[in-house]
Amino acid sequence: MTDVKSSVTISVNGRSLEAAPGELLIEAAERAGHYVPRFCYHPRMEPVGMCRMCLVEVEGPRGATLQPACYLKVQDGMTVVTDSEKVKKAQDGVLEFLLANHPLDCPVCDKGGECPLQDQTLAHGSGETRFIEEKRHFVKPIEIGELVLLDRERCIQCARCTRFSAEVSGDTEIAFSGRGDQIEVAPSPTEPFDSTFSGNTVQICPVGALTAKPYRFSARPWDLEQVESTCTTCAVGCRVAVQSSGNRLTRVLGVDSEPVNHGWLCDKGRFTLDSIDGNEESLDPLSASTRLREPLVRVNGELIATTWGSALNRAAAILQDAAKSPNGVGAIGGAALTNEGAFAWERFVRGVLGSNHLDAQYDDGLDGALLQSLPKATIDEAANARVVVTLTGDLREELPVLFLRLRENFIKRQNALVEFAFASSGLHSLATVSMPVRPGEAHLVAEALTRSDGSLLKGSNVTETELNETRRLLGESGEGVVFIVGRPNVAEDAGVIESAVRVLAEKFTSATFLPALRRSNVMGALDMGFGPKLRPGRGYVNDDGRTTLEQLEALRSGEQKAVLLLGCLLGNVLDVEGASAALEAASVVVVSGHGGKTLEYADVVLPAAVQHERQGTVTNIEGRVTAVTAKIVAPGSAWSDVAIASELAEECGQSLGLASEVQCAKVIEETVGYPALSVLNDASDEGSVAGRTKERVERRPLDPMAFPGIRSTNTAGLAEFAGAVVEESVSASSSPVSATLSVVSAGRGVEVPAFDAYSLVLNVSRRLYDHGVAVQGSPALSNLVAKSTAYVNHFDLDRLGLATGDVVEVSSPTVTLNLPVALSDATPRGTINVAFASVDENGDDVASRILVDPSSAITQVRLETK
C-alpha cells in the first residue's frame, strides 16, 4: 500500500470517469451507467473471466483488443469502449455459442421468465438459430443432493456454483469434471451434495441448471411478488428477499447486505418455508408441522377450538389468578418474537402480571446481562479482525453465514484463528491454534492464558505450546482481537463459559466480543428486557427474576402456579422430563404459531403469526436492528404477538398502550432510545447497530444472475443503501442502569466436579438440522437430520478397544443409551460428543440430550460394549 492514489481516471465510451485503483473494470463501468453483460462474474467471488460475455475493447500497445471487463483492473488512463460494433459482435458471438448446445426447454424451466440467458437472447439474439446440429445430451436432471437437482444440458459452464463450493463455502462438494464441450458439473462419486450452503449455488446459477427441489415447478417468476426482510431462522440476521405467489410463500433469496450476509444464506434459512405454510391437512396440535389457526382451550381434558374472546378470557383468568400469589407466575420463551412482540410481552409480564420471571433462553445460552456488559464487535469487525478467538459451538452448524464471513477472514486475509476446540468445527482446518478443551475446563484455560504459566491445567489436553502461541497472538491487551462467545456444550453449566468470558474480558480490555447465541431474535428479546435482571433498551436491574430452569423447578414445587409459554418448550429444553413434570403441575398458556408436544399440557393456546407474516424489527448477534416485513397473511385467525399481548392486557383490565407494531416501535424508540421505528420507517435500510453511530454504506447493485428482472415485483425494500447506525447508545429509563462487568454477577466462578478417569465427559452440541419446528415442518430438510452417533478421539477408542461403527452402551447418571461410536479426533481426549437432536438409522428421534445430568456442571458417562 505504498502507492496511495485514491482514484484513477479512465475513459469509457469517450466519457472520463473516476474509479478506485484496483477496481474491476466491469464495476467501474457499471457505476457510470455502462452495464457490461456477463455470466460468470460474481461480485463476491474472484473473477475468472471464463464465459467471455463481458468482452470490451481496451486500448493497449497492440491497438484496441478485446478484454474481459470482469477480470481487468482499471488503470489510470485506460481507454475502454463497451458499445462498438466489434464489441457487439464478440458478445453476440458468445451468446450464440452459449445457446448452441442449450436446450430449448424454457417453457418447462424453473428459470424461464427470470433467466439472464433468455433475457439477453431476447434483447440481442438474432432470433434465428444457425445451429442445426444435434445438441449435446446428458441425462436430464439428476439429483445431486437432498435439496438440489442438476440439469447438465442447461449448464453454461460459468463455474459460479463450483467456485462457490471451493472458494466461499470451502467444501468443494461439486466440481467441474471432463473437458471441452463435455465439461460438466459433477458431485462426488460417493457423497451427495449436502453442503449447508447448497441453495446458494441454485440462487447464483444464471440458468436453470441447478434447481432447488422445494421450489421446482412451484411458481412462475411473473406470478411472484417479493419484499425485503430479515431471515430469523438463526440470529445472524441475513437480509433476504421473500417471495410469494398469492398467499403462499415460494422462495427466499439472499440479498447482498454488505455488513451481514454478502448475499449468501444457509439452506435451513432458505428452505424452511414449508414449515411456515404448514401442513394444511394436519390438525394435530401436538405435531410441529401443524400451523395453529384458531385459539384452543382445554375442556374436559381435550383441546377444542374456540373464539378469541373466550380464549383470552380463560388465559387472563389463569394468569391473573396465579399472579395473586407472590412469584406465582412467569413467562418462558420469546426468542422467536420480533422486538415489538418481545417488548409487548415484557410489558405484559412485568407491568400487568407484576412478575420478574421471564426468560427468552432455555438455559442453553449465556447470561443476558453478562453479554450486555461486554464491549461488542460487529460481524464485519470479526470478519476482518487480526485474531478471532472462538469459544463456541461449531459455527458452521449454529450460525452458518457467520461461518462463511469468518472463513473469508482466514483464507483471504490470512488472519489468525484461535479455537477453543470443544468438538469438530467447520473452521478447525483454518485454525492457527486449536486448543482441545474438555467440558468444564474453558474457564481454567482462559485463566491460564492470562498468566504466563500453564500450571492451572494439570491433566488437560491443552499444551503449553498452544497456550504460548495463543498468548502471543492475543498480545497484552487483546488489541484487534474478537472473541466469539456462545454455548458450545449444553451439557455443561453455562457458568463455565461465562467465567471464561469474564476472565478474558477483564484481562483483554481492548478486545471486543461477538455473542454467538443462535436462536432467531434472542438478542432482540434480551435487549427488550426478556430475561432476569434485564430491562428494555439493554437496561439492567438487580432483580430476582428466575431463569427457565428455576421457573420449572418453582412450577414443580408449586411455588409458581402458572406459566406463559411463548413458543413450545419441550422441544427446546434439555431436561424434558423435568419440564413435563413442571407443566403437568401448573396452569399453562401457550402462545405459538406451531403445534408441538408442549400443547399436551396447555390449558389455553393462542395462535400467533410467525416469520414472513408479521412486521417489525429484529436484532442480530451484533446488535444490528433490521426490519422484518410481512409477505403473507397468517393462517386462520392467528394474530401478531403485539395484538395478542395487548388484547390479553385489556382482558386483564389494563392497557399496554400498544395498538400496533408501528406504535410499539415508536414507543420503544421514544422510551428507551432503541432503534425500532426509525428502522421500520426505512425498511429499505440495512438497519442500525444499537449503540453505534450511524454510517451509511452504499449497497452494491444486486447480482443480476441472482435477481434477474422479476416482473411485478414489489421492490419495496430492495434498497440502495446498506447500514445505518443510530446516534447514541440506548438510554436507560430512570431506574435501570447499563450492565457492566462489575455489576453483573454471572461468570463469577463455577463448581466443576473432578474428572473421573474411567469416564468420558459429555459434550452435547447443536447441529443445524435439529428437531426444531423449522426442520420438522419442512419435508425437504427433515432427511438431513444427523444420524445419532457418539464421537470419540482415537486415543479413547483404542483405550476402550472400540472401532467406528461399534454400538456401545452410554451410561450417564440419568439414563443409558445405545449409540454407535465413530472416530473424531476433533473431539478432545477424554470427551464424547453427541448431537442435541439426531435420529437413528430408522429415522426415529434419538434425544441424546437426555444423557445430560442437569444437577451437575458437567456430565460424565461410561461406555460399555454390548
Q: CB count, 10 Å around CB of 246? A: 11
Residue 70 interacts with ligand FES (CB under 6 A): yes or no: yes
Residue 186 interacts with other proteins (CB under 8 A): yes or no: yes
Q: Which residue is nearest to ligand FES (CB)?
A: 70
The residues, any chain, with a CB within 8 Å of residue 662's CB and separated by 6 or more, are 615, 677, 680
Helix (H) or strand (E) holding 697: strand 697-698
Q: Pick from 29, 40, 87, 644: which binds ligand FES (CB under 6 A)? A: 40
Q: What span, in angstroms and rounded, lies between the C-alpha atoms of 665 and 679?
A: 9
Residue 41 interacts with ligand FES (CB under 6 A): yes or no: yes
Binding mask 99-138 for other proteins (x = CB under 8 A): -xx----------------------------xx-xx-x--
Choose one: 10-18, 96-104, 467-475, 660-668; the region binding other proteins (CB under 8 A): 96-104
Choose one: 34-42, 351-359, 528-536, 629-637; the region binding ligand FES (CB under 6 A): 34-42
The residue assigned the cell 440462487 is: 203
Q: Pick from 12, 25, 51, 370: which binds ligand FES (CB under 6 A)? A: 51
Cα distance from N-terminal residue to C-terminal residue, the chain: 64
Residue 38 binds: one of other proteins, ligand FES, none (C-beta under 5 to 8 A by kind):
ligand FES
Q: In the complex, what is the shortest distance from the CB of residue 274 to other proteins, in angstroms, rounded to a whole number?
A: 28
Q: In the complex, what is the shortest distance from the CB of residue 647 to ligand FES, in angstroms, rounded to a whole number?
A: 55
Residue 49 interacts with ligand FES (CB under 6 A): yes or no: yes
The residue assigned the cell 499444551 is: 463
Residue 197 interacts with ligand FES (CB under 6 A): yes or no: no
Residue 146 interacts with other proteins (CB under 8 A): yes or no: no
- Where in 182-327 does DSSP place strands (E)? 184-187, 210-212, 225-230, 239-245, 248-254, 296-299, 302-305
Residue 166 interacts with other proteins (CB under 8 A): yes or no: yes
Helix (H) or strand (E) holding 407: helix 400-411
Q: Pick from 3, 128, 191, 841: which binds other proteins (CB under 8 A)? A: 191
Q: Pick from 19, 54, 115, 689: which binds ligand FES (CB under 6 A)? A: 54
* Sign of the four-CA dihedral 825, 831, 834, 836: negative
Q: Pick from 13, 71, 317, 660: which binds other proteins (CB under 8 A)? A: 71
Q: In the complex, what is the shortest distance from the CB of residue 157 to ligand FES, in angstroms, rounded to a whole number?
A: 10
Q: Pick from 106, 183, 662, 857: which binds other proteins (CB under 8 A)? A: 183
Angle CA 365–723–266, to nearest 5: 50
The residues, any chain, with a CB within 8 Å of residue 796's CB and separated by 6 or more, are 760, 829, 830, 832
Q: CB count, 10 Å around CB of 36? A: 23
Grid cell locating 656 = 399496554
SS3 state at 437: coil
8 A C-beta contact, residue 766 and residue 567 = no
Query: Quick one: which of 531, 177, 158, 523 has its CA closest to 374?
Result: 523
Q: What span, in angstroms and rounded, lies between the C-alpha atoms of 34 and 488?
A: 49
Q: What is the CA radius of gyration of the chain?
A: 28
Q: In the complex, what is the shortest distance from the CB of residue 72 to other proteins, in angstroms, rounded to a whole number?
A: 9
Going by DSSP bridges, is the β-strand pair 616-619/604-607 parallel, antiparallel, or unpaired? unpaired
Q: Pick from 19, 25, 28, 55: which binds other proteins (CB under 8 A)? A: 55
Choose one: 175-183, 216-224, 227-235, 656-664; the region binding other proteins (CB under 8 A): 175-183
The residues, any chain, with a CB within 8 Å of residue 520's CB and separated by 6 or more, are 232, 233, 234, 235, 335, 336, 611, 618
Q: In the complex, what is the shortest distance from the CB of residue 520 to other proteins, in angstroms, rounded to a whole number?
A: 32
Q: In the complex, what is the shortest distance from the CB of residue 12 to ligand FES, in angstroms, rounded to a whole number?
A: 16
* Sign of the four-CA dihedral 768, 770, 772, 773: positive
- Please count the residues of the chain: 866
Q: In the complex, what is the shortest distance from the CB of residue 210 to ligand FES, in angstroms, rounded to a whole number?
A: 17
Residue 866 binds: one of ligand FES, other proteins, none (C-beta under 5 to 8 A by kind):
none
Q: In the complex, what is the shortest distance from the CB of residue 90 to other proteins, in angstroms, rounded to a whole number?
A: 5
Q: Pick from 38, 163, 239, 251: which binds ligand FES (CB under 6 A)? A: 38
Grid cell locating 60 = 493497449
Q: Which is nearer to ligand FES, 48 or 857 (CB)?
A: 48
Q: Pick from 12, 25, 29, 68: which binds ligand FES (CB under 6 A)? A: 68
Q: In the complex, what is the shortest distance from the CB of residue 660 to ligand FES, in angstroms, rounded to a whole number?
A: 47
Q: Which is nearer to other proteins, 198 or 338 (CB)?
A: 198
Choose one: 37-45, 112-120, 371-379, 547-555; the region binding ligand FES (CB under 6 A): 37-45
State the SS3 of 568-594: CCCCCCCCHHHHHHHHHHCEEEEEECE
Residue 94 interacts with ligand FES (CB under 6 A): yes or no: no
Q: Pick from 19, 28, 51, 444: which binds other proteins (CB under 8 A)? A: 51
Q: Pick from 83, 105, 143, 181: which binds other proteins (CB under 8 A)? A: 181
Number of residues that bind other proteins (CB under 8 A): 52
Q: Which is nearer to ligand FES, 39 or 483 (CB)?
A: 39
Query: Quick one: which of 455, 457, 443 has its CA closest to 502?
Result: 443
Residue 175 interacts with other proteins (CB under 8 A): yes or no: yes
* Sign of the four-CA dihedral 36, 39, 43, 45: negative
Binding site for other proteins (CB under 8 A): 48-53, 55, 65-66, 68, 71, 86, 89-90, 93-94, 96-98, 100-101, 130-131, 133-134, 136, 156-157, 159, 162, 165-166, 171-183, 186-191, 193
Binding site for ligand FES (CB under 6 A): 38-41, 49-54, 68, 70
